[in-house]
Amino acid sequence: MFNNPSSMGHPACLKYLSQDHVQESLAAVQPTGHLRSGAMVERVKAARVKFRKDFTWALCTYNAEHAQALDMPLSHITQYRSLAKRFKALSTVTFYMDHKLQSYERERSTFTPQVLESLARRHEERSRHLDEMVRFVQELRQCHPQILKVAN
């Protein structure tokens, strides 16, 4: 579903994506904290990331003890860290950066000081998430030695 363009373009999905509370959530994954107006491609990409994060988290909270491999969004590392003791079978974890922080130079020149400040805060947050990622792996190895084989 996450990689199927036709499902993301379904009228019901597009209607859901146009709701205000969903727009706010989707904007959070953009470097400027907002979606460009009329950029449906941007909304669909952001929705894929959000659906994937929410679905993975729901599965983990329900079935963490049996998870053997996991793709983990870096922005939710603190949540996942709270489940570290329950990941008794987790042998492979792949972290991915779900919040876009890059922007094109021509876009940067149009950013307001507030947007640039927001971007700087997001970079600081990314740094904290990377530190949390290291702590997650350390905690997992401490709780369940010999289980985790791959973390990337």
Tokens of 22: 């969903």
Beta bridge partners of 71: 94
The string of pLDDT tens digits covering residues 90-143 is 999 999 887 666 655 566 677 788 877 877 888 888 899 999 999 999 999 999
pLDDT band at 4; cut points 50, 70, 90: low
The pLDDT of residue 94 is 95
The pLDDT of residue 1 is 45
The string of pLDDT tens digits covering residues 63-93 is 999 999 999 988 889 999 999 999 999 999 9
Asked if residue 8 has pLDDT above 60, the reply is no
CA 76 centroid distance within chain: 6
The pLDDT of residue 28 is 61
Give the H or E element holding residue 9.
Answer: none
Q: Which residue has the higher pLDDT, 10 or 59?
A: 59
The pLDDT of residue 118 is 77
Asked if residue 22 has pLDDT above 50, the reply is yes
The pLDDT of residue 46 is 72
Tokens of 4: 């199927």
- Dist. CA 124–CA 111, nearest whole Å: 18
Asked if residue 12 has pLDDT above 80, the reply is no
